[in-house]
Amino acid sequence: MGAGASAGLAGCSQSESTETGSGTTQELPGVAGETLTLTTTTSTYDTGLLDEIHTDFQELYGVTVDAIAQGTGAALETARAGDSDIVMVHARGLEDEFMRNGYGVNRRDLMFNDFVILGPAADPAGIDGLGSATEALATIADAESTFVSRGDNSGTHTKELDLWAAAGTDPAGEWYQETGTGMGEALNIATQQGAYTLSDRGTYISRRAELDIAIRVQGPIEGGPAILANPYGIMAVNPGVHENANYDLAIAYIGWITSPGAQEAISSYQVDDEQLFFPEAVSADPGFQQYVPEGWSSDSDDG
Amino acid sequence: MLRARNLAHVYEETTVFEGLSIGVEPGEVLAIIGPSGGGKTTLLELLSLSLPPTAGTVSVGGVDAWAADAASRLALRRQVGMVFQEASLFGATVARNVEYGLRIRRSWRARVRDQLSGLWGATETSPAVRDALAVVGMDDQRDQPAGALSGGEAQRVAFARALAYDASVLLLDEPASDLDPRNTAALEAAIEEAASRGIGVVIATHDMHQARRVADRVGVLLDGQITEIGPPAQVFERPTDERTRRFISGELVY
Amino acid sequence: MTPPLVLELLPALIDLPFRDGYVSSIVWVSLSVSLLAVTLSTLVSIPTAILLGFREFPGRRLLKTLINTGMGFPSVVVGLLVLFVVSNQGPLGSFELIFTRQAMVMSQFVLATPPITAISLAAITGVRQEIRDAARALGGTRLDVALVVLKEARYGIATAILAGFGRAISEVGSVLIVGGNITSASGISRTRTLTTAIQLEARQGQYETALMLGAVLLVLVLTVNAIVVRYGDGGIQR
């Protein structure tokens, strides 16, 4: 499935024609007039990227995209129930499970950004400039410096838990505070308390003017450890599981967003004069692993 | 006009009446006197067709009300008006209160039109309403809110309310029982006027002087029975029944 | 916290930091959803209150308990229940109501009905028996008597409807779940209400903006209340 196969789709209804101002007819794709329901995470939505690029897609096909920001878990759950047509999250483990269960098809790597570890200028735990995220967290735990966690099973929280596990530490105690809030709110809380926290770079950039905490450990975009990478994937809801999923339009969307034009638009998107997302979809490297659960091979027992 | 025959009524295992017969003719004022709690109100409720008797018949204009179907009975019930001891006026102007009986007898379409035109602004008070108010001497207060009236004035408006829609029988439960002489006089004048128009009026009262003043006939309700019935002079001065005599002379204590 | 907050708010109040049409579109969605839900709820609640007030029927006490419980029911839970019903996998899945304003009206209908019913019931049963007797004695049918009772209880019923409206327009949990807080890419709301917009700003940590939207909501609710009260006073002549 590539970018070019978008319009001529299996099961597509007749194209519709419309008169343009000059009197010539213009063919609109058969999906014109329909609505694509896309579920994604709150941090993705809050960057404003989707509102920026969706206009192009909508005009191209004469359709509407309803972008719904839920938590990572909720976005996948909604897609699993068939209430959305396409899902965009950044939690590879959960995406793999989604595919294994047959709920999602046609996965593509979309883009990536990264996480950063933020903390107060005073840096009580002394982690500033460390090249290892796990070492930084272990140090914070040892020093029992206040750490603010999302605590909500979001993509960010999942990554944070992975890091603690990799650091061999089980965070517990007064210094470890689980807020159960969105990223922006969590940053406010961390600032007020002069605490450390893990944040996606995008939210940090859009909030940094109001914060008293700053980057102590960089992510891979600025030379930090690869473990802090935050890759985004997109999947269409399997029409074999949900007959009324708008598969045609979902594939059109995936085709469009992984096309060079849209990927360029993604890389041009800036907040506070900084690029937020780094496109991954267009590559000479075949990247087979993006289509299947990580580690899958035809020799394995999976699917 | 309105006739009860062999009325029996049982309430919570107590026999209130048995074999009671009474009637009122057009243009007649019938007073029912008796002790408090003796069943006068119940009798009126039975006569007003709002309560079915345990046995016996209640007829309006010769038609047995409880043998008729519900629609016919509603029509019969609407020929009988009842005024209670408490005026219980609605939270609206005097005129709107008196108009109520007229309004509910019109078609639904007309009623909706009434409501809508009432919302946009003041409407004309219908002649029937003004006439009924004039009978009780309250026409000049027709635009007052009901809540602003004194107890006596409210009682008079309640009477006008029952009078306005041309009922053929009016039942009054202890009218003027708490009223000052001025309001009492106005009410009694209204009762006379109603009777003169051919309406049959039944008054339940414990006030024997009132009965004397307004009634053409007086019935005495004792022990669940009409022990005496006849013109006031006869009942009060030459009662035939011993119980009546003792009640009237005040010897019986209830 | 308050003095600096007020100083920060002042310049922002004059200049709402949103694209053209954003605020008016979310106000429109809030109002249209809640007004429709409250209207439908009133049509159901008033007859229910009359029934509960004046008629004996099997299950009467159960219904009363349900309504009183419903008054304190969290809006998120109602949202989840409606979600289960309108979801693709639910009984009404084929109507594709998920993430639509219709689903939001449904959940707010469920939220508004208990307070409207319960408060109307209190107003209706507060009407004295003598009034009902008088209406009946003047020849009123059961329906006539019920209408008299409603008219006598009209101020209490207006309070009930306002209470239901307040609950509907200020709730966020259910419309967030069944509506999805959606705007078009150009920022015009499709299922985003004032309350879910506030929640979004708060989630992003934009507290001042959230408060400004809260002020808009407050003005909205005050306006609706003022209109109802004025109309009510104007009608006192009747």
Residue closest to A89 by CA, chosen among A229, A262, A237, A232: A232
Is the confidence at residue A27, as pLDDT, over 60? Answer: yes
- Using the structure block, give the residue that is written with the tokens 């789709």: A9
- Verify whether the Cβ–Cβ distance C238 to B92 is below 8 Å: yes
Which pLDDT does position C3 carry in this prediction? 46
Q: What is the mean pLDDT of residues B71-98?
A: 89
- Verify whether the Cβ–Cβ distance B93 to C237 is below 8 Å: yes
The hierarchical CATH code for the domain C17-232 is 1.10.3720.10
Considering the domain architecture, whether residues A125 and A204 belong to the same structural domain is answered as: yes
Residue closest to A65 by CA, chosen among A81, A89, A79, A86: A86
Is residue A301 assigned to a domain? no
For A253, the 3-state DSSP assignment is: helix
- Say which of C88, C180, C186 has its CB closest to residue A68: C180
Q: Judge whether C14 is closer than 8 Å to chain B, CB to CB.
A: no
Chain A touching partners, 3 or more CB pairs below 8 A: C
What span, in angstroms and rounded, lies between the C-alpha atoms of A104 and A81? 11
Chains C and B touch (3+ CB pairs under 8 A): yes
Which pLDDT does position A24 carry in this prediction? 47
Chain B touching partners, 3 or more CB pairs below 8 A: C
- Say which of A46, A66, A82 has its CB closest to residue C204: A46
Domain endpoint, select from A200, A228, A256:
A228
Which pLDDT does position B34 carry in this prediction? 85
Q: How many CA atoms lie within 13 A of A215 on its CB side?
A: 24
Report, in this order, helix, strand and coil percent for chain B, each rounded to 5.
40, 25, 35
Q: What ranges do the domains of chain C cover?
A: 17-232
Is residue A300 assigned to a domain? no
Mean pLDDT of chain A: 87
CB atoms within 10 A of CB C230: 10
Considering the domain architecture, whether residues A98 and A242 belong to the same structural domain is answered as: yes
Q: Which domain holds residue A286?
A: 3-112+229-290
Considering the domain architecture, whether residues A100 and A119 belong to the same structural domain is answered as: no
Categorize the per-residue pLDDT at A5 as very low, low, confident or very high, splitting at 50, 70 and 90.
Answer: very low
Q: Quote ipTM for the complex.
A: 0.85
Is residue A280 assigned to a domain? yes
- Say which of C94, C98, C182 has its CB closest to residue A83: C98
- C 206-235 residues with CB below 8 A of B? 235
Q: Give the nearest chain C residue to A46 (CA atoms).
A: C204
Is residue A21 assigned to a domain? yes
Considering the domain architecture, whether residues A175 and A213 belong to the same structural domain is answered as: yes
Q: How many CA atoms lie within 13 A of A278 on its CB side?
A: 12
Cα three-residue angle A192-A153-C81, rounded to 5 degrees: 110
Considering the domain architecture, whether residues A122 and A189 belong to the same structural domain is answered as: yes
- Verify whether the Cβ–Cβ distance B93 to C238 is below 8 Å: yes
Residue type, B187: L
What span, in angstroms and rounded, lies between the C-alpha atoms of B4 and B44? 11
Give the pLDDT confidence of C53-79 residue by residue, as tens digits: 988 889 999 999 999 999 889 999 999
String of DSSP letters for A174-192: TTEEE----HHHHHHHHHH
Give the pLDDT confidence of B110-145 residue by residue, as tens digits: 888 888 887 777 677 888 889 999 988 888 888 889
- Verify whether the Cβ–Cβ distance C139 to B91 is below 8 Å: no
Ranges assigned E (strand) in chain C? none
Considering the domain architecture, whether residues A208 and A254 belong to the same structural domain is answered as: no
Which pLDDT does position C126 carry in this prediction? 93
Domain tally, chain A? 2
- Verify whether the Cβ–Cβ distance C138 to B104 is below 8 Å: yes
Q: Which residues in chain C have their CB less than 8 angstroms from residue B89's CB?
A: 134
What span, in angstroms and rounded, lies between the C-alpha atoms of A189 and A173? 17
Tell me the nearest-neighbour CA distance from C186 into chain A, angstroms. 7
Considering the domain architecture, whether residues A79 and A167 belong to the same structural domain is answered as: no
- B 4-63 residues with CB below 8 A of C? 48, 50
Considering the domain architecture, whether residues A92 and A157 belong to the same structural domain is answered as: no
Q: Which of A250-259, B220-229, C31-40, C216-225 has the lowest mean pLDDT?
A: B220-229
- C 167-226 residues with CB below 8 A of A? 180-187, 190, 200, 202-207
Q: Give the nearest chain B residue to C137 (CA atoms).
A: B82
Q: What is the mean pLDDT of residues B39-57?
A: 87
Is the confidence at residue C234, as pLDDT, over 60? Answer: no
Considering the domain architecture, whether residues A237 and A107 belong to the same structural domain is answered as: yes
CATH number of A208's domain: 3.40.190.10
Q: What is the mean pLDDT of residues A192-220?
A: 91
Q: Judge whether A24 is closer than 8 Å to chain C, CB to CB.
A: no
The pLDDT > 70 percentage for chain B reads 98
Number of H helices and E strands in chain C, helices first, is 11, 0
Interface-testing mutation among A52, A54, A59, A68, with chain C (most C C-beta atoms within 10 A): A68
Q: How far from the centroid of its chain's Cα atoms is residue B171's Cα?
A: 2
Domain endpoint, select from A203, A228, A253:
A228
Cα three-residue angle B187-B188-B191, rounded to 5 degrees: 90
Considering the domain architecture, whether residues A64 and A197 belong to the same structural domain is answered as: no
Considering the domain architecture, whether residues A140 and A221 belong to the same structural domain is answered as: yes
